Each structure stands twice: as structure tokens, then as C-alpha cells.
């Protein structure tokens, strides 16, 4: 997200998408970590996409395929 203060709907939608495409897809109450970009750091020698989170927060979400499908149809 490119917003410094996203609303709750946007945060929950982003967390839902992250949880849905994670290994915990079939679980309930999937933890999703988030932080500002300034708190991300590449890990030297790690696989592409692997980062270290500095100061972060967690949101717990139940993946909802229906919500994702509705969003994609927009």
C-alpha cells in the first residue's frame, strides 16, 4: 500500500490477500505482519522477496476467498 494511514477496510483486505496466498491459507486466524517500508531490510544472500521486518505489527485474519474474488472483479 502506498498510503501512510490506510483505513481499516484496506488493511483487512490486504491482510486477507496475504493470508489467502500464504501457506496458512486453509487455517483460521492467520497472523499477518505489516510495517512501513522504511522498516524493511533486504537480507543479504537470501532468496528474492525475503526481507527482515524492523518495527512491525500483527493482524490476525480468517482468509476469505469470496472477498478476494469480489475485489478482483472490480
23 is a domain residue: yes
Residues of the domain holding 65: 8-73
Identify the pLDDT of residue 5: 85
Residue 26 is assigned to a structural domain of this protein: yes
Residue 2 lies in a domain: no
Residue 15 is assigned to a structural domain of this protein: yes
* Tens-binned pLDDT, residue by residue, of the chain (74 aa): 667 788 999 999 999 999 999 999 899 899 999 999 999 999 999 999 899 999 999 999 999 999 999 988 86
14: Cβ–Cβ under 8 A, 6 or more apart, which residues? Answer: 1, 6, 34
pTM assigned to the model: 0.80
How many domains is the chain built from? 1
**Residue 1 forms part of a structural domain:** no
In a domain, 60, yes or no: yes
pLDDT attached to residue 41? 96
27 belongs to a structural domain:
yes
Residues in the chain: 74
Q: What per-residue confidence (pLDDT) applies to 40?
A: 94
Asked if residues 20 and 65 have their Cβ atoms less than 8 Å apart, the reply is yes
* Residue 62 is assigned to a structural domain of this protein: yes
Q: 39, 38, 19, 42: which is closest to 29 by C-alpha?
A: 19
Amino acid at each position: 500500500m502506498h498510503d501512510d494511514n490506510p483505513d481499516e477496510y484496506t488493511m483487512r483486505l490486504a491482510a486477507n490477500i496475504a493470508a489467502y496466498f500464504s501457506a496458512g491459507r486453509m487455517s483460521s486466524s492467520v497472523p499477518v505482519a505489516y510495517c512501513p517500508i522504511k522498516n524493511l531490510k533486504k537480507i543479504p544472500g537470501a532468496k528474492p522477496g525475503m526481507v527482515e521486518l524492523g518495527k512491525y505489527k500483527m493482524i490476525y485474519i480468517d482468509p476469505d476467498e469470496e472477498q478476494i474474488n469480489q475485489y478482483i472483479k472490480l
